[in-house]
Amino acid sequence: MRDKSKYEIIFKEGKAFRNNRELAEVNCEYCNEKVYRAKNKSVYKRKNFCNQVCKQNYNNPLTAKIMDHKDTPNFNYLLGLIASDGYVNRKKRGETVVLGFGSKYPDELKLLKELQSLYGGRIHSGSNKSNYIHLTNHNFYEYCLSIGLSPKKSLSLDVTKWFSGLCEENKWAFIRGCFDGDGCFTHFFNSFGRFEGRANFTSGSEPFAKMIHDFLKLNTKINKYKNNYNLNINCSNIEKTFSPMYKNIETELYLERKYLKYKIIRDYYSNI
């Protein structure tokens, strides 16, 4: 075990010492708390922080305030995206929530940049042109865990209780996030030459698939295929099922590619 006394700050003659070395009293750049650092030439010139959290908050002021957005649709949309395409992670650099898109569609990078303009964070590219945003904030991380987004979430993900407490607008924003993550709209002409539009949603978690199934009031049953639970939704009633999901997109975030597909199906069915 560490010998604590070695790290103790001792005050004598109005000065602070640790290990007999004189310390400088400086202020945390972020929260203004007093901090003690080894007294040397640079200590007054550089930025000092209480800890990693204050340093992160200083460098990322938008992420520091992310929980102020808790009751907004865009924040709940972000959580929907994280529930499908993200994860929570505790790393050396801090408690981080990561959202990543594994493909090279330009609308995904655009969306990450829009999220960054609201909530800060770092965007970086992985292999295969996948793009990620990292949001490092203790309270946000704890909030994600508290609502049911666990570090190994894919199988056990269950946010049903939290979801039931959201207002209608935030519920739809969350659902849009889930669809923009793990859902898709497809359309094709079947073997009889008839147009068919379908929506699909896949999750590794049964309670999560069930929550979405129940919320959308679907009649179809949940299909289990290998380790996935799949909702295959007939879209002849697309407007009824999905229009609330896109009701507020003038002011809320969404993935363009999926909205355009939704529109094609909606317009086709409304014109026949």
Q: Which residues bind Zn ion (CB under 5 A)?
A: 28, 30-31, 33, 50, 54
Residue showing tokens 């965007």: 123
State in angstroms the smallest separation of the CB of 162 from Zn ion: 31
3 state SS of 11 = strand
Smallest separation (angstroms) from Zn ion to the CB of 33? 5
| 26 vs 123 by CB, closer to Zn ion | 26
Nearer to Zn ion, 29 or 107 (CB): 29
Half-sphere exposure for 250 (CA within 13 Å, toward CB): 1
70 three-class SS: coil
In 3-state terms, what secondary structure has residue 94? Answer: strand
| Least Å from the CB of residue 16 to Zn ion | 17
For residues 159 and 167, the answer to whether their CB atoms sit within 8 Å is no
Q: Are 35 and 134 in contact (CB under 8 A)?
A: no
In angstroms, what is the minimal distance from the CB of 74 to Zn ion?
Answer: 28
Q: Which residue, 51 or 156, is less far from Zn ion as judged by CB?
A: 51
- Strands annotated E in 92-227: 94-101, 122-125, 131-136, 183-189, 195-203, 223-225
Q: How far is CA 92 from CA 76, 89, 100, 133, 162, in A?
A: 27, 10, 19, 17, 29
* Smallest separation, CB 138 to Zn ion (Å): 13
In this complex, which beta carbon is closest to Zn ion, that of residue 93 or of residue 124?
93
Comparison of 49 and 163: residue with beta carbon closer to Zn ion: 49
